[in-house]
Amino acid sequence: MDLIANLSLGFSVAFTPINLLYAFIGCVLGTLIGVLPGIGPVATIAMLLPATYALPPVSALIMLAGIYYGAQYGGSTTAILVNLPGESSSVVTCIDGYQMARKGRAGPALAAAGIGSFFAGCVGTLILAAFAPPLTELAFKFGPAEYFALMVLGLIGAVVLASGSLLKAIAMIVLGLLMGLVGTDVNSGVARFSFDIPELTDGIGFVVIAMGVFGYGEIISNLAQPEDEREVFTAKVTGLFPTKQDFKDMAPAMLRGTFLGSALGILPGGGALLAAFAAYALEKKMKLKPGEVPFGQGNIRGVAGPESANNAGAQTSFIPLLTLGIPPNAVMALMVGAMTIHNIQPGPQVMTSNPELFWGLIASMWIGNAMLIILNLPLIGMWIKLLTVPYRYLFPSIVLFCAIGVYSTNNNTFDVWTVGIFGVIGYIFVKLGAEPAPLLLGFILGPMMEENLRRALLLSRGDWSVFVTRPLSAGLLAAGLLLLAIVLLPSIKNKREEAFVED
């Protein structure tokens, strides 16, 4: 069989001691960096890119891929422990993971994230190996109208995530979209909403908004409460590993998350991120079993599902890169850079012209995932210790790491000023009961949506009906409408509100 022959070629490349070593270095670096809030995989890969110059191309890519996965693992760790999403796809993990940690169940939450990611990684690797060629055909069918429709669907999915008022969640998305537009318009070169500040012409950084709104906003509102009512952790940490019941709850969530993640990851345009949001929305729609913790209060499914989905999505997002040469996100764009440094033109020809690179990379993804779980499960105990640090020592440290992380992304004090502003805005959001998670999703999708809307309307000569006459796009929009209708239906609306009254 082709698949087996290909995979064995891949493993023979990846299993050389030297490549194993690079995969290991990549994973360790990635985890360390992912744990530090603010320094995401993009910054890390960008910093280490020159260092891979001297390596053979396969080893270089293997190491970079290791950093990518490692950073995702590390990012979920901070999301769970201190409610700071290290990078965009762990925003959802914060919602239930942090609540679990507050209830003394950080261990199971971290284990669920780790095991879910590993499982999804294994499946994702297999899918990548088996379906990379045929799946590219589907991606070919996606035009700008379809992308736009897909993003609308993704955003509607995000609305379901917010626990407060529906209208406010939609408004937060739109606000996020608008913030995403700050900066130079790619088409006309006009600097929009930049107030003649040169740094703003590059747009507002994701890290700046995430750190300001999630990090500082949260710290300030925590400190505002009297010490005994503070939103920190119940001192008692119960059990490092998930119980049997936990496994029972999270296994189906992992399966669903993996499936969803693999499917969405293939689509260029933030696959892993959309996947995590969609998986959480899906889990929330599933009926709660009697005695299960409601979502938003520390349900283990809310960690396992999105974590599996984002890892599966991260895996399959290599498909558009390796087969079409289209980078689906910033990290992949850097991988393209790494490939071109080594004189490899990403695209369909990689599979035939450099089979050992193509399959070696795929095999190393599995190896990287295996290494990460070996590396991370024993470390859970250590991460938990972090939680026993009193808040009075924890919050200055978080402020410091946020400030350093923000500064180091651009080596620019301007970002430190803006994160301060977003800290104030974040606190206002907390005070007004406006949830920041949908804002972040909108912020990331803003420029992409505008670009695809522009292209779609350009192709249709300004005819808006293009979104409903193309079957794929119409289907996606119909799914979005259906979702919205379900949420708005009176009976469900009441239930939804009931579910949130408790908190």
* Residue nearer to other proteins on the CB measure, 287 or 461: 461
CA quadruple 417, 420, 425, 426: dihedral sign = positive
55 Rama class: left (phi>0) / alpha (psi -120 to 50) / beta: beta
Question: Interface with other proteins includes 400 (CB under 8 A)?
Answer: yes
Tell me, what amino acid is at 385? K
Question: Interface with other proteins includes 488 (CB under 8 A)?
Answer: no
Question: Interface with other proteins includes 481 (CB under 8 A)?
Answer: no
* Residue nearer to other proteins on the CB measure, 294 or 408: 408
Which one of 221-229, 268-276, 333-341, 347-355 is the stretch in contact with other proteins (CB under 8 A)? 221-229
Rg, C-alpha atoms of the chain:
22
* Site mask for other proteins (CB under 8 A), range 145-184, x = bound: --------------------x-xx-xx--xx-xx--x---
Binding residues with other proteins: total (CB under 8 A): 64
* Site mask for other proteins (CB under 8 A), range 334-373, x = bound: ----------------------------------------
How distant, in Å, are the alpha carbons of 40, 55, 57, 175, 341 from that of 60? 19, 6, 5, 40, 10
Question: Interface with other proteins includes 397 (CB under 8 A)?
Answer: yes
Measure the CA–CA gap between 43 and 45, rounded to whole angstroms: 6
* Among positions 403, 437, 439, 476, the unique one binding other proteins when judged by CB under 8 A: 403
* Residue nearer to other proteins on the CB measure, 292 or 450: 450
- Of 114, 115, 113, the closest CA to residue 98 belongs to 113
The DSSP-derived string for 303-337 is HHHHHHHHHHHHHHTHHIIIII----SHHHHHHHH
Measure the CA–CA gap between 253 and 303, rounded to whole angstroms: 9
Question: Interface with other proteins includes 20 (CB under 8 A)?
Answer: no
Tell me, what amino acid is at 47? M
Q: Give least dist CB 488 to other proteins, A.
A: 13
Question: Interface with other proteins includes 18 (CB under 8 A)?
Answer: no
Tokens encoding 376: 């991370």
Question: Interface with other proteins includes 291 (CB under 8 A)?
Answer: no
Question: Interface with other proteins includes 461 (CB under 8 A)?
Answer: yes
Question: Interface with other proteins includes 201 (CB under 8 A)?
Answer: no
Phi then psi for residue 299, to 5 deg, are -90, 130
CA quadruple 486, 490, 492, 493: dihedral sign = positive
* Site mask for other proteins (CB under 8 A), range 35-74, x = bound: -x--x-------x---------------------------
> Strand (E) positions, 243-337?
none
* Residue nearer to other proteins on the CB measure, 241 or 391: 391
Measure the CA–CA gap between 24 and 18, rounded to whole angstroms: 10
184 secondary structure, DSSP code: E
336 secondary structure, DSSP code: H
* Among positions 241, 454, 468, 475, the unique one binding other proteins when judged by CB under 8 A: 454
Question: Interface with other proteins includes 445 (CB under 8 A)?
Answer: no
* Site mask for other proteins (CB under 8 A), range 410-439, x = bound: -x-x--xx-xx--xx--xx--xxxx-----
Which one of 88-96, 284-292, 337-345, 455-463 is the stretch in contact with other proteins (CB under 8 A)? 455-463
Contact 328, 269 (CB under 8 A): yes
Tokens encoding 77: 């760790």
- Of 71, 426, 403, the closest CA to residue 207 belongs to 403
Measure the CA–CA gap between 237 and 174, rounded to whole angstroms: 39
Burial class (CB in 10 A: 0-12, 13-18, 19+), 472: middle
* Residue nearer to other proteins on the CB measure, 39 or 361: 39
Measure the CA–CA gap between 47 and 405, rounded to whole angstroms: 13
Tokens encoding 290: 């009697």
Measure the CA–CA gap between 256 and 153, rounded to whole angstroms: 18
Q: Give least dist CB 28 to other proteins, A.
A: 11
Question: Interface with other proteins includes 395 (CB under 8 A)?
Answer: yes
Question: Interface with other proteins includes 190 (CB under 8 A)?
Answer: yes
Using CB under 8 A, list all residues that contact other proteins. 32-33, 36, 39, 47, 165, 167-168, 170-171, 174-175, 177-178, 181, 185, 187-188, 190, 192-193, 216, 219-221, 223-224, 392-393, 395-397, 399-400, 402-404, 407-408, 411, 413, 416-417, 419-420, 423-424, 427-428, 431-434, 449-450, 453-454, 457-458, 460-464
